[in-house]
Amino acid sequence: MDTDEISVKKRLFVAVYLPQPTIHGLLDALRDNRVYQNEWRFSSDEKIHLTLAFLGGVDEGIIPGIIEAIEKGASRIKPFDILIENITLAPERGEKKMIWANIRSSESLDALAATVKKKCVSAGVIALKKTADSFTPHITLAKKRIPYKQLITSHQTDIMVLETIPVTEIHLIESKLSQGFSRYTIVHTFTLGK
């Protein structure tokens, strides 16, 4: 096999990062609630984000095309606000293995996620063609420690948040796996409406 034929893949996703005070407020709300104190592995600050599209393993050679495509799409979307509604166990159906901050769906947010997906597919990201069109806006704050144990649901309540966050930029992020953990690096930042 010719070494020129070997393609390097990068694990990529597109996301919105939150302001540090918001991240600290969300994590503090979890730590203050007794229900959420045990058996959870909280996300580190740098990993708390709202995923718009998970691209999966992408050939390094098409990344410039992805950046160009997302840049065009992001330039057509004006900045907008998102609303963090509450913190709850997730997913909605099945075993509760995560804690999410739920984001209220909006026309602007849905349009941004759809645009990012469409632009990535047009740039050659095959994995996105196979994903469902539904978009459930949320931020993963914690994951259940392994092994998963059945949770007692009678005492669990959602934590109301209701915080508005401006969305003015999005990021193409690489996730590198190392020793069972992932490290995130921003590959490119896109400013909305430019």
Task: Tell me the two tokens of residue 24.
Answer: 């600290």
d(CA 157, CA 118): 37
d(CA 106, CA 176): 31
Q: Which fold has domain 3-191?
A: Cyclic Phosphodiesterase; Chain: A, (3.90.1140)
Q: Are 96 and 145 in contact (CB under 8 A)?
A: no
pLDDT at residue 147, as a whole number: 53
Three-state SS for 94?
Answer: coil
pLDDT at residue 156, as a whole number: 54
d(CA 10, CA 176): 8
pLDDT at residue 145, as a whole number: 75
Residues of the chain with pLDDT under 50: 1, 3, 151-155
pLDDT at residue 152, as a whole number: 45
| Bridge partners (DSSP) listed for residue 186 | 173
